[in-house]
Amino acid sequence: MPLRPRGGASHQTALRTADEAETLPAILRKALTSPYARQRLSRFLAARSYPTLTDAARDLGIHQSTLVIQINRLEADLGEPLFERAERGRAMKLTPFGEKVIAAIRTMPGRYTSQT
C-alpha cells in the first residue's frame, strides 16, 4: 500500500489550523489546534442552551456519550471545566470559565459569531 506523501491534504490542514490558532483569542488557542476542534467548539455552543447533555445530544442527532466525550476533550484542551453538570432537579450551567470561553468565541470572526 503506497503511503501518502508528506504535505498531503491532511498535513496541510493541520498546519493551517495551527497557523489560524495564533490569530485567535488566547483562551481558545490550545483547543483549536487539534483535529475536529471546531466541531467540538460548535457542539459546546449548541449544548450550552440545554438543561442536560443528554437533551443536547438528542437534538443534535448524536449519541450522548459522543457529546460527553467531545465536551470532556474540549475541557481537557482548555484546562478547566466548561459546565457544572446537571444533577437531580438542577440543570447544567456554564462555569465562570465557560462564560469566558463564550465571550472569547464572540470575538472570533466567521460562523461562530452568529451562533452566540
Fold observed for domain 37-115: Arc Repressor Mutant, subunit A (1.10.10)
Listed by start position, the domains of the chain span 37-115
Whether residue 16 is predicted with pLDDT greater than 60 in this model: the reply is no
The tens digit of pLDDT for each residue in 23-79 reads 778 888 888 777 788 889 899 999 999 999 999 999 999 999 999 999 999 999 999
Please report the DSSP string for the chain in residue order.
Answer: -PPPPTTSHHHHHHHHHHHHHTTS-HHHHGGGGSTTHHHHHHHHHHHTTSSSHHHHHHHHTS-HHHHHHHHHHHHHHHTS-SEE--BTTB--EE-HHHHHHHHHHHTS-SGGGGG-
